[in-house]
Amino acid sequence: MSGRGPLGRLDWLTVILYVLLVFIGWINIYSTSLSDTDTSLFDFSTMYGKQMLFIGLAFLGIVFVLFVESNFFERFASIFYVISIVLLLGLFVFGKTIAGATSWYDLGFFNLQPSELAKVATALALAKFLSDIQTDIRTRKHQMYAVIIILLPALLILPQPDPGSSLVYFSLFFVLFREGFPLFYLGLLIFMVVLFATTLMFGTVWVVLGMITLALLMYTFKRASVKIPILPVLGTIVLATLFSLSVNFVYENVFEQRHRDRFALWLGLEKDEKKLEEIKKTIGYNTYQSEKAIESGGSFGKGFLEGTRTKGDFVPAQHTDYIFSSVGEEWGFLGTTTVIILFTVFFLRLIHIAERQKNDFSRMYGYGVISLLVFHYFINIGMVIGLLPTIGIPLPFFSYGGSGLIFFSMLLFIFLKLDSNRLKDGI
Amino acid sequence: MKKLLLSSVVVLIGFTFIARLSYLQLFRFSPDQILDDPAIKKVYDYPERGYIYDRDGKLLVGNQPAYDVMVIPREVKPLDTLEFCSLLGIDKEDFISKMKKARTYSPRLPSVLVPQLSKEDYAKLQEKMRHFTGFYIQKRSLRYYNTNSAANVLGYISEVNEADLKNNPYYVAGELKGRTGIEKQYEEILRGRKGVKHIQKDRFNRDIGPYKEGKLDTLPKQGQEIHITLDKELQEYGEMLMHGKRGGIVAIEPKTGEILAMISGPTYDPALLVGRQRSKNYSKLHYDTISKPTWDRSILAQPSPGSPFKTLNALIGLQEGVIDPSTTFRCYHGFYVGNTLRGCHCGGGVRNMNSGIYQSCNAYFAGVFRKIYDKYKTTDEGMDVWEKHMKSFGLGNYLGTDLPTGAPGRIPDKEYYDKWYGDNRWAASTIISNSIGQGEIAATPLQLANMTAAIANRGYFYTPHIIKSLGNSGSIDPRYTEPNYTTIDRKHFDPVIKGMADVYNYGTAKWLKIPGIDIAGKTGTVENYVKVNGERMQLTDHSVFVAFAPVENPQIALAVYIENGYYGARYAGHIASLLIEKYIKGEITRKDLEKRMLEKTLEHEYAKPYSGEPFKINEYVW
């Protein structure tokens, strides 16, 4: 079997799912950017023509990935990481500004977005560091190193400003959790988010009362044999109360009105109908339009190229961050669920592949890939269908954009390449 | 456990997304979203509103083009402002401020720069228009009136309001709709049906082609023309005669029930309610609460009819067999109710039916009235019979015309008096005023004209109507072509009509005869009261006249009601006589009579109650 060449052991199910997602994405870019004048599919002045070119470039990238030695990535992971950090730093001097964010290098035919490259590099570097024989994630020192590897690019991306892309790096913490980073931190994070949201929605008093009630219920219904010490519970409640109070302070005094408006919209805080309508039409304009577009698709959609709202350009950034609204409008519930199911199966397959790796580096890198992809998918679609506040990050494989498509593809295929080599690793 | 964490998260996210999507796309979806889809703009193609012609095919209402100069600010290229302004007839400051306003409204959407150019200005501008990029001329259609009369009959059109939009999904804001008169009654025929084009728009509201290749588009359906029963000349002449007088006139062709003229005074030029000045003029007319020009007295005023009503009491007496034409009553310059003498102007003496009618003797008709009631054991029974006969003439209820407004008038019934006086506490003598058309009787001029038509036809009438032929088919509602029979036998009409003809031969209207035409008529002089500042005061009597002609083979039946015109033979009688001559002969031979009516006004009478000073009524000199 080992004689079958570099493609022989590739996980073809994943490849097929990948091709499907890229294809559906392109179909929708074609639909949203098609103009009245008929042009060829390969007219590179159009969005869909350019995206076609990017797909070609991504294919070249994939071929490159598949034909290099698989330990090339492990060996040069640190160098990639350093290069991408340098590139991110370089943006402060040579960066090209598009739509207010200095996130690109102008390469003439192509605008390179190093934050996309950095995602691959960081995932590789983190896997390399964690899989190093000398690294012990249970020690504070190594935990600290891991956190620095993750947060350094995020910190450099934040002032571009591109808070969305910067937020993406936090998804890599999942790799740490998988590899033994205490789950306590995850629990704490979730607890804080819940506290934050509930405080804004119901106020500190109700949140504290709620916590006390929960604690009392816990004591009432616990089995007699189970002992729960009272002090930590009390301590948690006190700390949570302090946190809750600080939320109000931060919300009122640190946040700016535009931030408050986003939260107000997301959590339904604004009760005044008129003001709510106003916020919806300004801050929430994107979400409002995209929700409307998706809603108007109904069960089976308006049909390919028939999406009136997306055609009319009512949904902003509809070929990039809001591409999913076009799926909703033209293909309806049938189309959206199909895409969701495709993504879900795709991720479950990747998780399965990651878990079957015998090589630590491969598994950890796999988890990095999955975490990044799931995070993008979750935030993007959550935003487009109005579940999450507006955070501008693309939908992997779908959204228009060269750097995104190329580096997501390389991110994925590096993992598939490592997987195709897993049997050799065992020897 | 840790291995399953990420898988569970992925599956959970999938479920959450699908739940949210089913809420959005399955639960919240509604198929008529196309209505509020900002990306699909409906563009309407309006058909021309149908023309209105009179009974002889003379144009009453047509359409006129109006030209608005429109501008799309961002398409405007530098231009010779001075030349453009002089073409438009505006000055430069005006032009600059209007351009600024248009730009503020929207740089991309058209705004009206100068509304409703005259045809002459339009002609001048049209040739030069191509030099001015960003400007264009939009043609609009306004109503054009080929007459300055019949304003209330024709009605007017105006922009639909919120209530219209809610009640009828056909209309879209900015469209016009018939508000009153024929424009309202025959709205759907005149209007036609607009065509719709669905245009796909982008977010800047620019056209990007037809939606679904025009599959949902419809073509406009033309508005149809209608012919109405009015006689343009008679209507215009009648309005001229009404100059300075308040009241209502209705003329009907007895053998069809077609309304020949419907005049209300004071009136106004229908052209006032067209175009730029519409709203201003409307307020002026509508808030004139003293002379009420928009209140159509010919169908809405409900005065007591007075003496013309006597003819019906005569007919009922004959039909009930309680009198015959030779039955006599004595007039003591009045008649006694108990010990009170009620006056009469007929001169006194013995009256039979013929002289009773032409001298308009109150005593005679009081006698007839009593006899009708005496026939029955109880007053209630008598009342029921009397009421049934009266209502068969179309009195006391809506006539069912094709006019959008109307009034029922009043024929009192026994319940009415039971409520007023108490059960069995009243008798024929209590309500004796009804015998002479005063008391609780009320009728609109239209009802009086219809009653006269029923007499002219000797016992039946066609429901009065204004429509002559409708649209392309020409047919009208069969309701208007079937006769309504009264409860009086044909044979009883001859003696009554003889009496009415003698009104002109020897009676109250002997000065109003028309050479060569036999007329039957009846005068009426109606006492009336008004409350001004809470004070009840009597005003000069209303002048009422009903007539039809010729006596054999009647062509016109009419009722004239002139507020505070005193004797029936004065204003109402004059006008009735002139209108009959005009309609039958086509010209007026008695120029003195005509001159008097054209010149005399009653403004001094109408000013009296508001003068704040004591005043005389029923002045002999006029």
DSSP notation for A9-37: T--HHHHHHHHHHHHHHHHHHHHHH--SS
Which chain A residues are Cβ-neighbours of B203 within 8 angstroms? Answer: 312-314
Burial of A324 (0-12, 13-18, 19+ CB in 10 A): buried
pLDDT at A1: 39
CA distance A333 to chain B (A): 6
Quick one: angle between helices A285-295 and A323-355, nearest 10?
Answer: 90
Average of per-residue pLDDT across B223-242: 94
Q: Do B6 and A174 touch (CB under 8 A)?
A: yes
Percent of chain B with pLDDT over 70: 95
| Domain annotation covers residue B272 | yes
pLDDT at B242: 93
| Domain annotation covers residue B14 | no
Of the spans A351-355, B103-107, B275-279, which averages the highest pLDDT?
A351-355
| Domain annotation covers residue B335 | yes
Instruction: Report phi then psi at B22, rounded to 5.
Output: -70, -35
Residue A45 neighbours by CB under 8 Å, 6+ apart: A39
The answer to whether residues B213 and B327 belong to one domain is no
Which chain A residues are Cβ-neighbours of B2 within 8 angstroms? Answer: 177-178, 183
B24: nearest CA partner in chain A: A295
Neighbours of A116 (CB within 10 A): 23
Residue B279 neighbours by CB under 8 Å, 6+ apart: none
Burial of A318 (0-12, 13-18, 19+ CB in 10 A): buried
* Contact indicator for B381, B427 with CB cutoff of 8 Å: no
The answer to whether residues B325 and B452 belong to one domain is yes
Q: Which tokens in the block code for residue B254?
A: 């007895």
pLDDT above 50 (res A175): yes
Dist CA B576 CA B261 (whole Å): 12
The answer to whether residues B165 and B193 belong to one domain is yes
The answer to whether residues B539 and B500 belong to one domain is yes
Nearest by CB to A333, from B16, B21, B37: name it: B21
Query: Per-residue confidence at A258, pLDDT binned at 50, 70, 90?
Result: low
Instruction: Report phi then psi at B556, rounded to 5.
Output: -145, 135
Percent of chain B with pLDDT over 90: 49
Any idea which of A80-94, A379-393, B107-121 has the lowest mean pLDDT?
B107-121
| Domain annotation covers residue A173 | yes
* Contact indicator for A195, A187 with CB cutoff of 8 Å: no
The answer to whether residues B339 and B464 belong to one domain is yes
pLDDT tens string B573-588: 999 999 999 999 999 9
Dist CA B433 CA B441 (whole Å): 9
Which chain A residues are Cβ-neighbours of B14 within 8 angstroms? Answer: 340-341, 343-344
Any idea which of B54-63, B154-163, B310-319, B352-361 has the lowest mean pLDDT?
B154-163
| Domain annotation covers residue A240 | no
The number of residues making up chain A comes to 427
CA distance B110 to chain A (A): 20
The answer to whether residues B185 and B266 belong to one domain is no
B209: nearest CA partner in chain A: A36
Average of per-residue pLDDT across A314-339: 86
Domain boundary among B209, B228, B247: B228
pLDDT tens string A115-158: 888 999 999 999 999 988 888 888 888 888 999 999 999 989 88
| Domain annotation covers residue A85 | yes
The answer to whether residues B411 and B493 belong to one domain is yes
- Residue that has been written with the tokens 């007053």 in this structure: B379
| Domain annotation covers residue B29 | no
Dist CA A100 CA B25 (whole Å): 34
* Contact indicator for B156, B181 with CB cutoff of 8 Å: yes
Question: Which residue would you say has higher pLDDT here, B216 or A334?
Answer: A334
pLDDT above 80 (res A329): yes
Opening angle at CA B209, ends B208 and B213, nearest 5:
150
CA distance A178 to chain B (A): 6
Q: Which tokens in the block code for residue A336?
A: 């959206």
**Complex confidence, ipTM:** 0.86
Q: Which tokens in the block code for residue A344?
A: 């879900």
Residue B471 lies in domain: 232-281+298-610
pLDDT tens string B1-39: 567 888 998 999 999 999 999 998 888 887 665 555 666
Dist CA B391 CA B404 (whole Å): 22
Query: Per-residue confidence at A227, pLDDT binned at 50, 70, 90?
Result: confident
| Domain annotation covers residue B102 | no
pLDDT at A3: 44
pLDDT above 70 (res B558): yes
Dist CA B455 CA A33 (whole Å): 80
Q: Which tokens in the block code for residue B305?
A: 């009819």
pLDDT tens string B175-204: 788 999 999 999 999 998 888 887 776 655
Cis? peptide before A6, omega within 30° of 0: no
Which chain A residues are Cβ-neighbours of B21 within 8 angstroms? Answer: 294, 328, 333, 336-337, 340, 385
The answer to whether residues B470 and B371 belong to one domain is yes
Dist CA B523 CA A95 (whole Å): 102
| Domain annotation covers residue A295 | no
Domain boundary among B184, B201, B228: B228
Dist CA A57 CA B1 (whole Å): 40
pLDDT tens string A363-395: 999 999 999 999 999 999 998 998 888 778 899
| Domain annotation covers residue A25 | no
pLDDT at B530: 84
Which chain B residues are Cβ-neighbours of A339 within 8 angstroms? Answer: none
Dist CA B414 CA B409 (whole Å): 16
- Select from A171, A280, A308 the residue whose CB has the most chain B CBs within 10 Å, as the one to mutate to test that interface: A308
Instruction: Report phi then psi at B451, rounded to 5.
Output: -60, -45
Cis? peptide before B550, omega within 30° of 0: yes
Which chain A residues are Cβ-neighbours of B18 within 8 angstroms? Answer: 336-337, 340
Dist CA A91 CA A172 (whole Å): 23
If one counts the domains in chain A, the total is: 1
pLDDT at B86: 85
* Contact indicator for B311, B443 with CB cutoff of 8 Å: no
- Residue that has been written with the tokens 């008679």 in this structure: B234
Dist CA A237 CA A231 (whole Å): 10
The three-class DSSP label of residue B80 is coil
Q: Which tokens in the block code for residue A309?
A: 């709202």
Rounded to the nearest integer, the mean pLDDT of chain B is 88
**Secondary structure of B161-218 in the HEC alphabet?**
CHHHHHHCCCCCCCCEEECCHHHHHCHHHHHCECEEEEEEECCCCCEEEEHHHHCCCE
Q: Do B20 and A385 touch (CB under 8 A)?
A: yes
pLDDT tens string B430-476: 899 999 988 899 999 999 999 999 999 999 999 999 999 887 777 88
pLDDT at B206: 66
Q: Do B17 and A385 touch (CB under 8 A)?
A: yes
Whether residue B11 lies within 8 A of chain A, CB to CB, comes out as: yes
The three-class DSSP label of residue A238 is helix
Opening angle at CA B324, ends B318 and B330, nearest 5:
110
CATH number, residue B550:
3.40.710.10
pLDDT tens string B116-130: 777 777 888 888 888
Question: Which residue would you say has higher pLDDT here, A228 or B537?
Answer: B537
pLDDT above 90 (res B262): yes
The answer to whether residues B578 and B489 belong to one domain is yes
Whether residue A37 lies within 8 A of chain B, CB to CB, comes out as: no
| Domain annotation covers residue B24 | no
CATH number, residue B190:
3.90.1310.10
Cis? peptide before A161, omega within 30° of 0: yes
Dist CA B331 CA B316 (whole Å): 21
Question: Which residue would you say has higher pLDDT here, A307 or B46?
Answer: B46
If one counts the domains in chain B, the total is: 2
| Domain annotation covers residue A292 | no
Torsion over CA: B21, B26, B29, B31 (sign): positive
CA distances B139 to A415, B73, B135, B174, B217, Å, are: 68, 19, 13, 15, 22
Residue A329 neighbours by CB under 8 Å, 6+ apart: A293, A294, A296, A297, A301, A302, A307, A308, A309, A310
Instruction: Report phi then psi at B178, rounded to 5.
Output: -65, 130
Instruction: Report phi then psi at B343, rounded to 5.
Output: -70, 165
The answer to whether residues B432 and B376 belong to one domain is yes
Q: Do A308 and B211 touch (CB under 8 A)?
A: yes
The answer to whether residues B318 and B377 belong to one domain is yes
Any idea which of A320-324, B216-220, B580-584 has the lowest mean pLDDT?
B216-220
Which chain B residues are Cβ-neighbours of A355 within 8 angstroms? Answer: 3
Q: Is this structure's pTM higher than 0.90?
A: no
| Domain annotation covers residue A141 | yes
| Domain annotation covers residue B155 | yes
Neighbours of B341 (CB within 10 A): 13
**To which H or E segment does residue B267 belong?**
none
| Domain annotation covers residue A126 | yes
Q: Which tokens in the block code for residue A392?
A: 């501008």
Q: Do B6 and A370 touch (CB under 8 A)?
A: yes
Average of per-residue pLDDT across A6-33: 87
* B 236-295: CB under 8 A from A: none
Neighbours of A316 (CB within 10 A): 14
Nearest by CB to B14, from A183, A312, A344: name it: A344
Dist CA A12 CA A94 (whole Å): 41
Residue A135 lies in domain: 70-181
pLDDT at A270: 67
**To which H or E segment does residue B141 belong?**
strand B135-145
Dist CA B618 CA B263 (whole Å): 25
Which residue type does A128 have? K
pLDDT tens string B67-97: 878 888 877 888 888 888 888 888 889 899 9
* Contact indicator for B106, B75 with CB cutoff of 8 Å: no
Question: Which residue would you say has higher pLDDT here, A157 or A6?
Answer: A157
Dist CA B383 CA B434 (whole Å): 11
pLDDT at A350: 95
The DSSP string of B548-617 is EESSSS--EEEEEEETT--STTTHHHHHHHHHHHHHHHSS-S-HHHHHHHHH---HHHHHGGGSSS----
The answer to whether residues B333 and B207 belong to one domain is no
| Domain annotation covers residue B46 | yes
Percent of chain A with pLDDT over 70: 88
